[in-house]
Every structure is written in structure tokens, then in C-alpha cells.
């Protein structure tokens, strides 16, 4: 398929993915897309343009012998071609030390490895093997999850030194090219299972949608390209507007609220992202910006804290918005947004500081009504409708935290709750608390706010299960 090599060359030239003399590092997993990427660059270097490249492979340590064979396959691929290769395996049990879900953490580790190798090997670009079908899948996934304009733009062909030269190619033609060039590849067995949402989209939803539009992948690709330009224009306008409202490290509140709502969200997002490192804010999303803007409207210019942002707060004073650090970090302090499942696939949130993990699963209401034991202290069933319009956060206890007692009995300090439960002082900060927006609704292992439990009208339930309850129970029952 010489035509495919020509198109690959044209994509690199037209998108200016590589400039003369630049070196490129290929991320090669061993799958068909990354093998195709390797073969194309190998042929490109021999026939079309001089380009120096190397290979990098990250072993996550999650799939046992199969992953070992993937690493060996990639190393042999590089050795046979005389190409420099870097292979690294993650430390054992790394997911216990990383924030977020295991998939998110794995991606962070993989990209950090690629950046590190690129620095050490003096590579100017890092090439990834994402193709057009991946792009369509990403756009639909974001659409189902709920997203703004930026989420519908999919993956860019270039961002920083990351490049995706295969985004204009279909998976079928990639497989054909590898076969015709005598190549083989590794199959990741986890890609076959429908237990993962993305796999279900790939195997079922996208083929069904293609029955209504046979050119679905090309259509979604074209839409993403158009929206990317629209998003870039909007973002440039937002950043220009933000600069006009900035006064040192403060933002003019009246000027912000006078903007159209779409610009309000973007300007506030850019402002918070500038301050993110100061308050350990992992990301800024639609839920956070919308909530803060609604609070600002209700506040009517009155000075005070608007709402929590990371380990700090957005504060209004004398008409100006600032981000203040109100909770000094402690060695064992933590705060994690709780991921909610889109379908039947459970989500897992590792919390190494508390020695456990939170499993979140969406279940039929009948499961709760007929089988569950709501009195279990390490399981909390929530009504999805009760937490639909806010944010769930799992964090460590903080001074002044309180929880509602129910039946009109008011609220109680969590510190007093743990003292009454005879939890040792040194262990109290290890007890996670679950918040809905800014309100504590579950002190894990101790008390739940019953207002958020499912009702007879609930059609489904969210099951939150703390994994690691045995060791926590020993703390509670030690006295």
C-alpha cells in the first residue's frame, strides 16, 4: 500500500508534525496501530525523508505474562530494525500510590515515561498511534458522559510535542498495511471484553450508529476538526477578556458577571487554572465553574468565601475574586473527586493515604431493596437523582467538619463523633469523609446522611463500597 505511505508523508508535511532534522520517539505498545506507526516511520526514513526515531514501551505490570510478552515483542521489533528502544516497567503496586482511577493513573504514568525518555534521548516529538476510529470513539464517549465544546473536539493531531500522524487513517486500512508488509502485532485481551465502556462503544454502539450513517467515522472526524477551530477562537477570546479583568492575582467580579454565560465559564476556568498549583486543584470542569458562578450570583456582591477549590477557596473581597489557601496541607491530607460510572462498569478510586479504595457501582433499585444491607457501615447506597446536580468528593477530615444527625437532631462535629467512637487521635485523620458539594454526607465506617439514600421511586442506585474496611474496623473496635 504505497498510497498509504504517501498519505502518511503528506499528513506529516501538511500538519507540520516534523520539521527537517527533528527526532521523533514512537510510543509502541505492540498493538496493530503502534506497529503500523513503526513500519511507516521505518519506510519513511528509508524512502521519503531522513528522520531519526526511537521506540518507547511502558509495561504497566497489570496483565502478567501477557504484558511481559508485549514488552519482549517490542524490544525484538526494535532490535531487528536496529532502532534504539526504551522499555520500563512500573513499580509493583503503583496504583495504591496514585490519585484517581487506575486507568487515569496508568495514562499519567505512561505519558510521564514518554516525556522522560524524550528528554533523555533528545527527541523533539513523541508520536502516538491513535487513528480515526479512536477519534470517533473518543468523541462519542465524551458526548455520552456529558461535555462542553472542548470535549467534542476529540484528540488534536498535535499538542506540544505530542503528535498523532495516524488520525486520518481507519483501523481496517492500518491492519491491511501491516499484513501486506509482513508485520505482526500483539492483541490486548482486555480489548475484547465488554466490561469496559469504551469497548462496548467500539463493539456495539458505533457499529449501530454506522447503520444510520455509513460515513460516521469521517463525519465525526470532520465535526471534531470544525469544533476544534471554534473552541480555539472562543478560548483566545476568553483569555483576552481575562487579561482585561485581571488586577494582579485578582479578577474583577462585576466584569466577570457582566459577560455572556459561555464566556463567564471560560474566563473563570482560565483564572482558576492559573491558581491551580497553589491550592492543589487537580482540574477545573463545568460542574465547578457553574457552581461557583451560581454562588456568586446568589452572593450579590457580599464579601466572603464563594466556594471550595481544591485545598483552598474562591474568595470575594472589595469586588475582586482571589484564590486563597485556607487549609494548610498536612502530610496525610487528601482530596479526590469521586468518579461516577456511566453504565454497569464499576469505578475504582484508590486512596493510599487511608489504606483503601472506594468502589462506585450503578445497580438496579431492586438490588438495594431486596439484597442490600443499608446498615453496613462500609457501604453507602445513594439515590442518583439526589446527587445529580453536584460534585462528590472524598477527602480527609478537616477542622469544623460536621454531619447531619437526622430526625431534626441538628448536626454534629465529626471530631466529636470520632471521639465518642473512641477512635485514637493519631488515626482520626485517616478516616475518609464523603462530601456532596460542600456538605459531609458520609463518615466512612461511622455515620451516613440518610437524606441521600434511595427511595421507593428510585429506578437505580449508586453503591459506594469502601474496600479496606477490615483494617479500619480494627481502629474503631480497638477500645
First to last CA, the chain: 73
Residue 406 is labelled as binding a ligand = no
How many angstroms separate the CA atoms of 438 and 402, rounded?
Answer: 11
- Could you tell me if 444 and 357 are in contact, meaning their C-beta atoms sit under 8 angstroms apart? no
What distances in angstroms separate CA 194 from CA 191, 344, 361, one per listed residue?
Answer: 8, 10, 16
How many angstroms separate the CA atoms of 285 and 344, rounded?
Answer: 24
- Could you tell me if 238 and 267 are in contact, meaning their C-beta atoms sit under 8 angstroms apart? yes
How many angstroms separate the CA atoms of 65 and 100, rounded?
Answer: 26
The helix or strand, by DSSP H or E, that contains position 228, with its residue range, turns out to be helix 216-245
How many angstroms separate the CA atoms of 166 and 128, rounded?
Answer: 8
What distances in angstroms separate CA 310 from CA 108, 123, 212, 234, 417, one per listed residue?
Answer: 20, 35, 44, 26, 25
Helices (H), 312-411: 365-366
CA atoms within a 13 Å half-sphere pointing along the CA-CB vector of 388: 9
Residue 32 is labelled as binding a ligand = yes
Strand partners for 57: 87
How many angstroms separate the CA atoms of 233 and 13, rounded?
Answer: 24
Phi-psi region of 215 (alpha: psi -120 to 50; beta: other; left: phi over 0): alpha
Residue 34 is labelled as binding a ligand = yes
Residue 433 is labelled as binding a ligand = no
Residue 190 is labelled as binding a ligand = no
Q: Choose among 327, 34, 381: nearest CA to 177.
A: 34
Task: Give the angle subtended at the CA of 413 by the CAs of 411 and 416, to the nearest 5°.
Answer: 125
Residue 396 is labelled as binding a ligand = no
How many angstroms separate the CA atoms of 343 and 345, rounded?
Answer: 6
How many angstroms separate the CA atoms of 44 and 32, rounded?
Answer: 18
Q: Binding site for ATP: what residues are annotated?
A: 29-34
Which residues belong to the annotated binding site?
29-34
Amino acid at each position: 500500500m504505497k498510497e498509504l505511505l504517501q498519505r502518511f508523508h503528506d499528513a506529516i508535511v501538511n500538519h507540520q508534525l516534523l520539521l527537517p532534522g527533528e527526532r521523533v520517539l514512537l510510543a509502541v505498545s505492540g498493538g496493530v496501530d503502534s506497529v503500523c506507526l513503526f513500519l511507516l516511520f521505518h519506510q519513511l526514513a528509508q524512502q521519503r525523508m531522513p528522520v531519526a526515531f526511537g521506540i518507547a514501551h511502558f509495561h504497566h505490570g497489570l496483565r502478567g505474562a501477557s504484558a511481559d510478552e508485549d514488552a519482549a515483542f517490542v524490544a525484538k521489533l526494535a532490535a531487528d530494525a536496529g532502532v534504539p528502544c526504551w522499555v520500563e516497567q512500573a513499580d509493583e503496586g503503583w496504583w495504591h500510590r496514585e490519585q484517581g482511577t487506575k486507568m487515569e493513573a496508568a495514562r499519567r504514568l505512561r505519558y510521564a515515561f514518554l516525556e522522560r525518555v524524550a528528554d533523555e534521548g533528545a527527541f523533539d516529538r513523541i508520536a502516538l498511534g491513535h487513528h480515526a476510529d479512536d477519534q470517533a470513539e473518543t468523541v462519542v464517549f465524551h458526548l455520552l458522559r456529558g461535555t462542553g465544546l472542548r470535549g467534542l473536539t476529540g484528540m488534536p493531531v498535535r499538542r506540544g510535542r505530542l503528535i498523532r500522524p495516524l488520525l486520518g487513517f481507519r483501523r481496517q486500512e492500518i491492519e491491511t498495511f501491516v499484513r501486506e508488509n509482513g508485520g505482526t502485532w500483539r492483541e490486548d485481551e482486555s480489548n475484547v471484553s465488554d466490561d469496559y465502556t469504551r469497548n462496548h462503544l467500539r463493539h456495539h454502539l458505533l457499529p449501530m450508529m454506522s447503520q444510520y450513517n455509513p460515513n460516521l467515522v469521517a463525519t465525526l472526524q470532520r465535526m471534531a476538526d470544525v469544533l476544534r477551530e471554534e473552541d480555539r477562537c472562543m478560548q483566545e477570546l476568553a483569555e483576552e477578556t481575562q487579561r482585561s479583568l485581571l488586577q494582579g492575582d485578582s479578577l474583577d467580579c462585576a466584569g466577570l458577571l457582566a459577560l455572556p454565560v459561555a464566556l463567564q465559564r471560560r474566563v473563570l476556568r482560565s483564572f482558576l487554572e492559573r491558581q491551580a498549583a497553589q491550592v492543589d486543584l487537580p482540574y477545573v470542569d463545568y460542574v465547578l465553574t457553574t457552581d461557583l458562578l451560581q454562588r456568586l450570583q446568589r452572593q450579590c456582591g457580599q464579601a466572603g468565601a464563594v466556594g471550595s477549590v481544591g485545598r483552598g477557596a474562591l474568595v470575594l473581597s472589595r469586588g475582586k475574586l482571589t484564590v486563597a489557601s485556607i487549609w494548610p496541607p498536612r502530610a496525610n491530607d487528601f482530596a479526590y473527586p469521586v468518579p461516577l460510572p456511566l453504565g454497569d462498569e464499576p469505578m475504582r478510586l484508590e486512596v493510599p493515604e487511608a489504606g483503601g479504595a472506594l468502589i462506585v457501582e450503578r445497580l438496579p433499585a431492586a438490588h438495594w431493596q431486596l439484597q442490600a444491607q443499608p446498615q453496613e457501615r462500609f457501604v453507602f447506597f445513594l439515590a442518583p437523582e439526589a446527587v445529580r446536580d453536584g460534585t462528590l468528593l472524598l477527602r480527609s477530615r478537616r477542622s469544623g467538619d460536621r454531619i447531619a444527625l437526622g430526625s431534626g437532631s441538628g448536626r454534629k462535629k465529626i471530631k466529636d463523633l470520632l471521639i465518642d467512637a473512641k477512635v485514637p487521635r493519631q488515626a482520626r485523620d485517616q478516616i475518609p469523609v464523603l462530601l456532596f458539594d460542600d456538605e459531609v454526607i458520609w463518615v466512612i465506617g461511622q455515620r451516613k446522611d440518610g437524606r441521600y439514600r434511595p427511595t421507593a421511586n428510585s429506578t437505580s442506585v449508586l453503591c459506594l463500597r469502601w474496600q479496606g474496611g477490615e483494617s479500619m474496623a480494627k481502629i474503631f473496635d480497638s477500645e
